[in-house]
A and B are shown apart, each in its own frame.
Chain A
């Protein structure tokens, strides 16, 4: 295969090439999955709008004092989605809210993934009491109901963007840890790990070089599913008034709408769009996650 001047390919380049080919094959299979592709396109669009927020909607539109519209004005040509109770354009809030909702979802997921993967890897890799203890802790976090714990944490820590990210991160990792643990348990017994161990590889080397690359695809698929849940949680916590009061997210918009009675006054433009955005993003992440799972796990593929 390799006819370059570098001579015979080393084990490392071979492994790299195989991995790259694996990802390419995965992408080809992913493209066959229609709902996964729809989710990916919707997500890309929303992320682009969120990134381009300063270009498409003036940040001044977020200021309560500089708002120019009337109170809860219905949609018109100047305010495509009407105004909120402070006279701000709902569309502007929606576009800027996307940034906070996505940011909180992604960073919280990152925390949750790191904790979940580390705990899962260690509890699967190390038998004996350390593994057992970690497994127990995972089980505990799995049964403690998520929202009550998040509410208590958020109310004790105070209301800020960082705190809400931490709260979601530390309350949502248990499912991932269990998944990674079971994967690790099955990989641990494989022959190439034993061979590597016989050659004198240490725990760190085995975990980093052999176990982690094998569970990485699962982590990846699980990440997209966790983002969906993290965004839903952010929305719910903000709705309950636990979000950062200085920033607009879809959840805080809904809280404001509920607080000022947008439902009874029939101001649908303040309640419907943020909810629809949440559903679209969460659904898209879920669809992409499921498509990834079926690409990575052929046994699931015949299901959908």
Chain B
């Protein structure tokens, strides 16, 4: 920060004028800088993961595909692997920043195109599930904490812990086995996988309903998997608030129990929960990868796990980059929102 002629005066004046905005601007800049640093680290990590790890990259990437030295040389040249490392890094940086993520070994099309094609279903699946999980989880956590030790609390906390201990894709498999394949006399109610039926037009009314029917089980799986965390965190942060004096004051004013809870305790308890929701985006990505695989939903997660079989390194690298960048950005947004909601963190 640079100040003109008399720094103290100017600083004092601005602090008096808009102390909150100044504090927020500095906070936001700091957070944005941190996110930028993380993105930089991600770019470097992504480069070195594939190039400096043990073994010759061409052999690792080709996995025995090359029988002669010439083929190997061709491959090295085609991907610029014969250049010095520094040169390779600059090329990689330039390419990545202009959206060139390489060509898929399997589909023979640019990876960026593949990713753009597949990102829609993932966003739909993850977005819906996160929203539902946050709403239900916060509601469960609030009710549990407010009547701590009651029947509702014990059932809800026990269920949350069990869901938290479960691989989300296994939960998905169980739902497929019971609700899609059918169990004994029970007929299958939902499709076992896919985003829509083969013959459905996704943009007609019937097509939308068809997509909803296809997404019901995957969204249920992810919602159940995510909500456990939200419920547990909301519960413990509300319990932290419950001994506070301001709640006693609110009660002493004669406010009803529900008003004390909803207008005084919950807003404060929501703050730490927001942080956890932000930190959770990495976990959200994990869920998307495995659940898309189990339900064969053509999103980024399925793209990545299919690339594993080949292995299609450029696709793996591209999806990793996009997933990690998305998590970093989502974190930044959550931090910025948090700073607006709670001025205390802007230190």
Residues in A lying within 8 Å of B, measured CB to CB: 136, 139-140, 142-149, 151-153, 155-157, 228, 232, 235-236, 239-242, 254, 258, 263-264, 266, 268, 271-272, 275, 278-279, 282-283, 286-287, 302-303
Contacts and interface: CB of A to CB of B under 8 A. Distances in A.
A236 B327 CA distance: 20
Contacts of A157: 53-54
Contacts of B50: 152, 156
B281 interface: yes
Contact of B166 (A145, A149, A275): A275
B23 interface: no
Given A144-B324, A146-B286, A264 B293 contact: no
Smallest CB-CB A-B distances: 6 pairs: A145-B282, A147-B286, A282-B165, A283-B165, A275-B170, A145-B285
A236 B286 contact: yes
Given A283-B165, A286-B161, A148 B304 contact: yes
15 contacts: A145-B286, A146-B286, A148-B323, A151-B304, A155-B313, A236-B286, A240-B305, A263-B173, A271-B173, A275-B166, A275-B167, A275-B173, A275-B174, A303-B236, A303-B239
Given A148-B324, A155-B311, A143 B304 contact: no
Contacts of A271: 173-174, 177
Given A149-B324, A235-B170, 10 more contacts: A148-B304, A151-B289, A151-B316, A155-B308, A236-B169, A272-B174, A275-B166, A283-B165, A286-B161, A287-B161
B239 A145 contact: no
Query: Interface on chain A toward B: helix, strand, loop, or mixed SS?
Result: helix
Interface string B292-311: 01100000000011001101
A152 B286 contact: no
Contact of A286 (B60, B165, B169, B279): B165
Nearest to B57: A156
Contacts of B170: 235, 254, 275, 278-279
Interface of B: 34, 37-38, 41-42, 45, 49-50, 53-54, 60, 148, 161-162, 164-167, 169-170, 173-174, 176-177, 181, 192, 236, 239, 279, 281-283, 285-286, 289-290, 293-294, 304-305, 308-309, 311, 313, 316-317, 319-320, 323-324, 327-328, 331
Given A136-B37, A148-B319, A263-B181, A279 B162 contact: yes
B167 to A, nearest CB: 5
Nearest to A235: B167
B181 A146 contact: no
A268 B182 CA distance: 12
B167 A152 contact: no
Contact of A139 (B34, B54, B167): B34
Given A144-B42, A151-B308, A286 B164 contact: yes
The CB with the most chain A CB atoms within 10 A, among B161, B167, B308, B320, is that of: B167
Contacts of A143: 38, 282, 324, 327-328, 331
Contacts of B286: 145-148, 236
Contacts of A263: 173, 176-177, 181, 192
Contacts of A144: 38, 41-42, 45, 282, 324, 327
A263 B173 CA distance: 7
Contact of A145 (B162, B290, B294, B327): B327
B320 A152 contact: yes
B293 A240 contact: yes
A156 B165 contact: no
A148 B49 CA distance: 12
B278 to A, nearest CB: 10
Nearest to A251: B167
Given A156-B50, A236-B286, A145 B165 contact: no
Contacts of A151: 289, 304-305, 308, 316, 320
Given A144-B45, A156-B50, A239 B290 contact: yes
Contacts of B49: 152-153, 156
A157 B41 CA distance: 20
Contacts of A155: 308, 311, 313, 316
